[in-house]
Amino acid sequence: MLKLTIDHQTIEVAEGTTILQAARKIGGSVVPPAMCWYSKLEGSGGKCRTCLVKVSEGSAKDPRPLPKLVASCRTPVIDGMVVQNKTSPEVLEARKAIVEFLLINHPLDCPVCDQAGECDLQDLSYDNGKVSCRYQESRREFDVIDIGNLIKLHMNRCILCYRCVYVADQISGKRIHGILYRGDVSEISTYIKNSIDHNFSGNVIDVCPVGALTDKTFRFKNRVWFLKPMTAHRDCPTCSGKVIAWMRGSEIYRITGRKDEFGEVEEFICNECRFEKKNINDWIVEGPTTLKRHSVISQNHYKEIKTPSVINPLEEKMETQTNDE
């Protein structure tokens, strides 16, 4: 077992655990945010740089600090490591910068985006971002395209986390989805715009941290915070059938996979469950879901709010920002 200290909290973890995984075991405020890393997707992570942390002591043997901030999602724990996340001003500064970088080419069309209310980028920028923007150049623009007949791609909103690429790679087993071009004009695409023709392709919607990939059967039907998330299941021949049914009255608006407290899908679900079974009779509804994510959606009573983390910090931030300027 390896000993790791994050923000003065100590935990023992097994060999091969990354700093982020260890932090998630502790939970709470020591967990660095992650926009690209996904525990279920092998090879993901290291790209968005929001999970950067400071290693103030490299190991028990060699307690020198590491020269640069490291991506906690891909850095394995070494015995005796001391890590600073929220306690390091350097980390907070870097994270603020990353949020700014992620937002400069993001269209900020939240009012018309289906992801609004459950968007990782919204959460991230509420927690770490600034209210003002220093970017005055033109943003990159792409056309909205269909990826197959069930998924819509808004490339403008994409933050190039590569999660969907890993889903397509690992679930389908053949390379049908990837990144074209490079730099800030790179875009995700299916192989020569072929549709993703696979029974589990809908999971790219769930893993997308922003509203770049959206469910065509749900687009513009409703805002997520008006819907009631209900835990439901059915006897599905292809997948586990364990889902969340998003309901209004007795009508099911959409089906998604069940997500854990870090916003990760617990089990991938098949396209039949996701897109076709929209009738209440198809499902056995177990009851209301306790959403553990802090987002706009958790304003309703489906979440026991431990720390008032949504409304108040933002107001405070706005006040401090206006005082600054």
Partner 1 sequence: MGRKILLENSDIPNIKSFDVFRAHGGYVSVEKALKTMAPDEIIEEVKKSGLRGRGGAAFPTGLKWTFLDRKSNKPRYLVCNGDESEPGTFKDRYLMEKLPHLLIEGMICSSFALGVNTAYIYIRGEFKYLLGILNQAINEAYKNGFLGKNILGTNFSLDMYVHPGAGAYICGEETALLESLEGKRGNPRIKPPFPAVVGLYDCPTVVNNVETLANVGYIVNFGGDAYASIGLGKSTGTKLISACGKINNPGVYEIELGMSVEDFIYKEEFCGGIKDNLELKAVVPGGSSVPIVPKKIILFTASGEKRLMTYESLAEGGFESGTMLGSGGFIVYDQNACIVRNTWNFSRFYHHESCGQCSPCREGTGWMEKILWRIEHGFGNMKDIDLLVSIADKIEGNTICPLGDAAAWPVASAIRHFREDFIFHVQYPEIIKNIKHGALYKYENQD
Residues lying near partner 1 in the complex (CB under 8 A) are found at 45-50, 52, 68-69, 71, 74-76, 94, 97-98, 100-102, 104-105, 134-135, 137-138, 159-160, 162, 178-179, 181-186
CB 297 to partner 1: min, Å = 25
For residue 184, the minimal CB distance to partner 1 (Å) is: 4
CB 80 within 8 A of CB 60: yes
Strand, coil or helix: 115 = coil
Are 13 and 22 contacting, i.e. CB atoms less than 8 angstroms apart?
yes
Q: Which residue number, 48 or 153, has a Cβ lying nearer to partner 1?
A: 48
The C-alpha atoms of residue 318 and residue 104 are separated, in whole angstroms, by: 19
Task: Single out the residue of 83, 44, 32, 26 nearest to residue 166, CA to CA.
Answer: 44
Give whichever of 97 and 285 is closer to partner 1, judged by the CB atom. Answer: 97
Q: At closest approach, how far in Å is the CB of 94 from partner 1?
A: 6
Which residue, 58, 56, 57, 38, is CA-closest to 48?
38
Residue 118 near residue 208 (C-beta atoms within 8 A):
no
Distance of closest approach, residue 181 Cβ to partner 1, in angstroms: 8
Provide the minimum distance between the beta carbon of 187 and partner 1 in the complex, in angstroms, as a whole number.
9
Task: Quote the CA–CA distance of 209 and 195 in Å, as a whole number.
Answer: 21
Q: Which is nearer to partner 1, 102 or 168 (CB)?
A: 102
Q: In what order do the strands lie in the sheet with 151-154?
A: 144-147, 151-154, 213-215
- In the bound state with partner 1, the residue whose beta carbon lies nearer, of 57 and 100, is 100
- 179 within 8 A of 230, measured Cβ to Cβ: no
CB of 101 to partner 1, least distance (A): 4
Q: Least CB distance from residue 60 to partner 1, whole Å?
A: 18
- Residue type present at position 138: S
Q: Which residues pair with 279 in a beta bridge?
A: none
Minimum CB separation of residue 30 from partner 1 in Å reads: 20
CA atoms of 238 and 212, how far apart (whole Å):
26
Look at phi and psi of residue 249 and say left if phi exceeds 0, alpha if psi is from -120 to 50, else beta. Answer: left
CA distance 238 to 200: 9
3-state class (DSSP) for residue 266: coil
What's the closest the beta carbon of residue 164 comes to partner 1, in angstroms?
Answer: 15
137 vs 143, beta carbon nearer partner 1:
137
- If the CB atoms of residues 139 and 248 are measured against partner 1, the closer one turns out to be 139
CA–CA separation, 11 vs 106, rounded Å? Answer: 37
Give whichever of 72 and 298 is closer to partner 1, judged by the CB atom: 72
Burial (Cβ within 10 Å: 0-12, 13-18, ≥19) of residue 269: buried
Looking at the Cβ atoms of 182 and 306, the one nearer to partner 1 is 182
Q: Is the Cβ of residue 175 or residue 248 nearer to partner 1 in the bound state? A: 175
